[in-house]
Structure 1
């Protein structure tokens, strides 16, 4: 009788452990991860949101694996499959820099990843970058790391901890008083100045606990040159439906600088500042985090962002609600064609 009770107890305990591991995100366990990794290196694809992932699932673009279609790890689902015969793992990160960075690190920690591709929609801060265009930037900047100076100080005043190398004035600042309404006689503003800061990074090739700094992070040169060669004349979609089309054909643009921050930008003045000060052409909330993570881990990466709105640069309301689907579709077209055409290069 006691033996039967012990059997029941241990079976219940095993089921509890199995269930706990499943709900905590380890469904599929290490054996499934090892099985996928034994197949060889994969293309890792990080996508911000489901509506940007959905076009990849359509028209047979992404073919899920028949035996292990996905593995859940730490609350995220890693979709296992192929794109044009190339082994691929796709994961949705969720909105924001934190989500994008941690998801990219999870991807690299658990799987054999050859290169990382990231795609999604973005706002345009460049007058030459239009709705549904795809920007393949050569470098990425995180513009959301600031030193906010106290009121009454300015560019000639040293920042706290600047001597230690923690903060800098060299990258430029935003003076809020420069954007006051001209009808207001007060030429200053108690919000003062913010100074753009580089990220602290700890590259895998560096010395642990010895920080380095990175502001403009370049994409992989090989991947970028491949994209230039293969996607320069790529045909993109110009129509939302049969009765609603853009006035000009969308195109793929290269040689630009992209930026990210935990801000949905819909402000003409700040949009202009980013373009004038840093030459930034597109703005989003995730790409720079993917770039910084790959940079620190020494992993080749490239990013595709399609324009859904003008980030406050138009005279009417934000366009994202109208053009997000079209932009997401064009971003997917570019990514899928990149994988197809560069099959032999990675």
Structure 2
């Protein structure tokens, strides 16, 4: 990298020229550290390796860790469901196909908080029994603590080679009497205001549950690798007395910060087995018009482009990163074109 001293007003600046990037202007007064990765300038978005350079850098394994024979278990929030569907579509082996009736399959994108994900591992691998009446499906149907389902889930986990876990939100409902946390909100027909309460999951308990999940996996399935992601899908509503947009920002920030600190604190051995895939950043930072009119479902060109970036970097297929980058760029351009359909931007200036 070449640095050139110039002046900007009264401040001396350095003109930095990272290889393949638009020239950057930064203040010269402060040491920039051994690693200095710049936020992209406008022209940087046009480089053919934008995703690899500005989004994926630092988060990838040395080589593919998933092939057609790798046993993958993916669940949590929406990304896990999307990756299960994508891997299944290209002939890869996912738990959703191997064991369709276990809860991590039927509720693949419905276990949206860190407690819900950790519960499955404690229940299946350690035999821990959660308080009853906490687990419900998409239509509020109640799931029991079936020993048969637990045993099948345990066997699926023990034979898994790669776990993909997606954390969705920090707003949780819990049973004040037992302390147990619901997978999702409290079903209306079961709601009891005397015992069912709401809170925002703290940074400390978020990080603790993520750490406990990693610990359980590595204790019981030491050969397994773990890929963690954050769902980009916002809250449909908040139960806090503040705007949903600001509550969603806090909800995601808690998860993202806890994941980041967890990753930074991994020892050298775990760094070879635990990864973060930045689906949250890819979608929220690169698509100016991400969602359909409901504000939550992504435009149809977005998910396939993110799945191809994942495939090209984590999976052993013929898809190259250059090809995935091309799809990603095309999706960004196509999504930007939808701005003219947005109710606000379609209005005359």
Instruction: Using structure 2 for the length normalisation, give the TM-score.
Output: 0.30
Greater relative contact order (CA < 8 Å, ≥ 6 in sequence): 1
Which of 1 and 2 has greater Rg?
1
Q: Larger % of strand: which?
A: 1
